[in-house]
Structure 1
Amino acid sequence: MIVRRLRALVADTRPLRDEHFRRLWLANIVTVVGAQLTVVAVPAQIYQVTGSSAYVGLTGLFGLVPLIVFGLWGGALADVFDRRTMLICTTLGLIGTSALFWLQAAMGNTNVWLLLGLFSVQQAFFAVNQPTRSAVLPRLLPPELLPAANSLNMTIFQAGAIGGPLVAGVLIPVLGFEWLYLIDTVTLFATLSAVVRLPRLPVEDAAKGTPGLRSVIEGFTYLKGHPVLLMSFVVDLIAMVFGMPRALFPEIAHVSFGGPDEGGLVFALLFAAIPAGAVIGGVFSGWVSRVERQGYAVIVCIVVWGVAMTGFGLAVGLADRWQQVMLGIALLMLVIGGAADMASAAFRTSMLQTAATDAVRGRLQGVFIVVVAGGPRIADVVHGASAAMVGTAAAAAGGGILVVIGTVAAAIAVPSFVRYRVTRSVSGVQ
């Protein structure tokens, strides 16, 4: 009985029985660590060059524009062209941009605008790659396994997001930024190998012609007719825009907790804490496939996220009195927030994948990636600017409070989202 209950709690690994999903998943174990090294290295290099959180916050703006443009257009492309071919091309683009990051660091670049420009190009390839990858998943697995598959994917992603910052925090002062970018470049070849071995993935009932603005608008029109899915985007934007304080991590690590300005252990721990919480949530995610009231579950998870970010800001504000104790509390709040965010993302992703037909799935995933990845970019700008005016502690805590208020208001405004539920079959969620 005890063993059975433990099995019900831990992650459902049935999706790994599919060889194509398993190959992509295993490749991500290698690739994600390298990708997270770049995620940490870019803001750290910008902060070292400028000494300003406002400049670090600009990564949000320079990442947001290509995410919106190429995320929406990339989703339209993914509804026309063979998705395997799309994944190969965009993976090659990501390899190329990572190599350019390595080159500028190796040459001793101190031009912040060059860094931001390369970051924009990288995000453009990412914005086309991710909707395509998500649109592929329902072609590989049955609907009842999608929540488990999404949890497995997010667990690996977040595990890399732990290892990446920890390794980066140690290696940056010793080896410099160029080695982190080089590792990212090399590890991306693992994903390229897995993608090349996928079968051809033509779109069912694909639209004719070259996709353009009309195709993008059709995706929004489809979404407009599904208010529950639309609301899942709205509450995620509330959570990320107001509640993601990552642009403040370099300054908080340096000023509040006494770390070096180029990185260090505290900086790495701050970046790793949210992913650590997500990994913990992912390891014990066996319950997500059994939840019927998915809308209500999303609301609860996001409120927990907001409360955790408020606690994080308060701990930062008290760091000058009890530095070590407050560091521990701050990290704990980030861990709790990460676990809540993982569960919320698993529900929202599964809701979207099962609701759309294959012919429009790429475009909806394009909207999804704009919201999921674009929200934190907006947050980088908002938090960077807010911290310059009111300080990092007030910016983080105030953002968490706004998350709770905004989420509750959204739930009251659209009660159908809170009431949304799915029915379970014996094998999983239908």
Structure 2
Amino acid sequence: MSVRDHLIDISPLRDSRDFRAIFIARVVSLVGLGMATVALSDQVYDLTESTFQVAVAGTVMSITVLLGSLAGGVMADRMDRRGIIVFARGAAALAFAGLAVNAFQPEPRLWAILVCIAWDGLATGVSVTALMAVAPTLVRPDQLPAAGALISLTGEIGSIGAPLLGGVLLALWGPGPVYTLAAVTTMITTFLISRIRSLPPGTGDDDDDEAEEDSGSLLVAFTYAWRNKVVGGLLSLGGVTALFTMPVVLFPEMVDKQFNDSEVILGLLYTAPAIGSVLVSAGSGWLTRAARPGKVLLTAAFTGGIATIGFGVSGLLGLGLVGHLALAMVMLAVAGAAGTVYEILEYALIQHNTPDRLRGRIVSVSTTQDTAGDLIGDVEAALVAKWFSPAGAAIVNGVICALAAVVVAVAVPALREATLPAGWDDDDDEAEAEAEEGDAGTDPSADAPVPAKSPRPAPTG
């Protein structure tokens, strides 16, 4: 396997104009959102001088994103998905504009901030869910892992670069201009998505008798997940990992007690998982060729749990400050890398094993798990840290994640043996190009997107 085979596969960007537009739109949107998040936390604290109020603002955003995700899943399976995304991103732009207007006032109001972020949370939840349901219809089935890797990479770009840029602009201009810039980037996103083709919801495969009985409710999606062992196994494991993932909420206390309250070390701990994630995303080409992606996903979940245990244990080994920091960062980077492998393959396997008519609702359930997991998981980690210590909480969470991966691997053989459509190699591309020279059909490498109807999932018992 050549070096090129290990690099991130950008064929979805090359082959599909619409996926390319969505990719660019997502990058622009995440940059604006990341900058606004920094400004929001700083402004709320400046107005209230209360960390609790900052947490309240974050909770309002998380709850409204959760509600928007559930609503967006149902809407995405009933309405034109492009229209949903355009409307939701336009609504988000209005929320940022409201934040900017309030920030420019002589006395900004906290209630206005909370109203705007609640509005933005609902809009973001709807648009993210619809966007995730759209992507598989814009690429070939064998490109799903590559599409997942590219989507994951946009998130890492946003999480690393946007907050730094937001902090610099906040120091130079204050929150008002930052919110204004976030509104502008969101409008750019809205324009880019408005240029793609219409994306009506799927109606199911021709031989899918259950499509005729689909009432469009979330209950139908849960019923499907229960029957399809691959999707059900992924959602079950995803629920556990969302609750007991790496407890970043404990970083400040760990730094205070174990690293002499160094802000620089706190920044390094927050950065380490993102470094691992970016490295995996950039070298994710091999994931598109994994013979048993289900096994790789389960291994990644287990590895993430072990790395979390290692992070907790790192402060108990008497390695000294430098040795402790080095081991902690390595474990965090491994956890971030394992999490990205899991995320990429989870995305591909769920999309491949879910009929298009159910994608919006299944994606909404998965997104809701992540959002609710962040909220409840922070509380769980804080409580365990009080009973034991921050290191003890990390060890407990890691043990639970590793055990969950083992249990699911044993209990759900369909997930363990799950596969994805084989990728196209260079010879396939050349053969297809030669065959199409005399064919009036559509060139799959042209800017026009290739319709890619995901195959019906095989019965899994």
Distance 1:110 1:254 in 2: 33
Distance 1:27 1:199, change over 3 A: same
> Counterpart of 2:296?
297
1:34 to 32, 39, 50: 32
Q: What do you get for the CA RMSD once the two structures are aligned?
A: 3.4
2:20 to 15, 19, 22: 22
> Counterpart of 1:244?
246
Question: Which segment drifts farther, 382-391 or 334-343?
Answer: 382-391
Distance 1:268 1:182, change over 3 A: farther
The 5 A counterparts of 1:27-176 are 27-42=25-40, 52=51, 61-103=59-101, 111=110, 118-168=116-166
Distance 1:238 1:51 in 2: 32
The 5 A counterparts of 1:210-289 are 215-252=217-254, 257=259, 265-289=264-288
> Counterpart of 1:405?
403
Distance 1:196 1:55, change over 3 A: same
Q: Kindly indicate whether the alpha-carbon contact (under 8 Å) linking 1:162 and 1:271 is maintained by their aligned counterparts in 2.
A: no
> Counterpart of 1:362?
360
1:8 to 5, 8, 18: 5
Q: Kindly indicate whether the alpha-carbon contact (under 8 Å) linking 1:58 and 1:380 is maintained by their aligned counterparts in 2.
A: no
Distance 2:167 2:383 in 1: 25
> Counterpart of 2:190?
192
Distance 1:68 1:169, change over 3 A: closer
Question: Which segment drifts farther, 117-126 or 59-68?
Answer: 59-68
Deviation at 1:363, TM superposition (A): 1.5
Distance 1:10 1:64, change over 3 A: same
1:373 to 346, 371, 374: 371
Letter of the structure 1 residue corresponding to residue 33 of structure 2: A
Distance 2:395 2:170 in 1: 29
Deviation at 1:326, TM superposition (A): 3.3
Distance 2:40 2:250 in 1: 14
Secondary structure of 1:235's counterpart equals helix
Question: Which segment drifts farther, 178-187 or 287-296?
Answer: 178-187
Distance 1:188 1:380, change over 3 A: farther
Distance 1:199 1:217 in 2: 30
Deviation at 1:355, TM superposition (A): 1.8
Deviation at 1:425, TM superposition (A): 5.4
Distance 2:299 2:4 in 1: 24
Deviation at 1:362, TM superposition (A): 1.4
Q: Kindly indicate whether the alpha-carbon contact (under 8 Å) linking 1:38 and 1:180 is maintained by their aligned counterparts in 2.
A: yes
Q: Kindly indicate whether the alpha-carbon contact (under 8 Å) linking 2:293 and 2:345 is maintained by their aligned counterparts in 1.
A: yes
Question: Which segment drifts farther, 138-147 or 182-191?
Answer: 182-191
Deviation at 1:324, TM superposition (A): 4.8
Letter of the structure 2 residue corresponding to residue 375 of structure 1: G
Deviation at 1:358, TM superposition (A): 2.1
TM-score by length of 1: 0.83
Distance 1:266 1:175 in 2: 27
Per-residue CA deviation, residues 140-159 of structure 1 (Å, 9 max, x unaligned), is 11111111111111112212
Q: Kindly indicate whether the alpha-carbon contact (under 8 Å) linking 1:44 and 1:250 is maintained by their aligned counterparts in 2.
A: no
Deviation at 1:105, TM superposition (A): 5.2
Distance 1:176 1:253 in 2: 29
Q: Kindly indicate whether the alpha-carbon contact (under 8 Å) linking 2:68 and 2:125 is maintained by their aligned counterparts in 1.
A: yes
Distance 1:20 1:6, change over 3 A: same
Q: Which runs of 5+ in 2 are unaligned?
A: 205-213, 429-453, 456-461
Secondary structure of 1:356's counterpart equals coil
Deviation at 1:85, TM superposition (A): 0.8
Letter of the structure 2 residue corresponding to residue 22 of structure 1: R
Letter of the structure 2 residue corresponding to residue 240 of structure 1: A
Distance 1:322 1:170 in 2: 34
Per-residue CA deviation, residues 299-332 of structure 1 (Å, 9 max, x unaligned), is 110111112222333446789x844543343333
Find out whether 1:334 has 2:332 as its counterpart: yes
Per-residue CA deviation, residues 183-220 of structure 1 (Å, 9 max, x unaligned), is 433322331121111111122339xxxxx996221222
Deviation at 1:23, TM superposition (A): 2.0
Distance 1:72 1:311 in 2: 35
Distance 2:113 2:313 in 1: 32
Deviation at 1:371, TM superposition (A): 2.1
Q: Which runs of 5+ in 1 are unaligned?
A: 207-211
Distance 1:114 1:402 in 2: 41
Secondary structure of 1:287's counterpart equals helix
Letter of the structure 2 residue corresponding to residue 297 of structure 1: V
Secondary structure of 2:422's counterpart equals coil
Deviation at 1:173, TM superposition (A): 6.1
Distance 1:252 1:15, change over 3 A: same
Distance 2:336 2:253 in 1: 21
Secondary structure of 1:200's counterpart equals coil
TM-score by length of 2: 0.78
Distance 2:202 2:316 in 1: 54
Equivalent residues, number: 416
> Counterpart of 2:310?
311
Q: Tell me which structure has the larger Cα radius of gyration.
A: 2
> Counterpart of 1:209?
none
Distance 1:273 1:146, change over 3 A: same
Q: Kindly indicate whether the alpha-carbon contact (under 8 Å) linking 1:101 and 1:181 is maintained by their aligned counterparts in 2.
A: yes
Deviation at 1:270, TM superposition (A): 3.4
Distance 1:64 1:401 in 2: 27
Distance 1:152 1:423, change over 3 A: closer
Distance 1:197 1:254, change over 3 A: farther
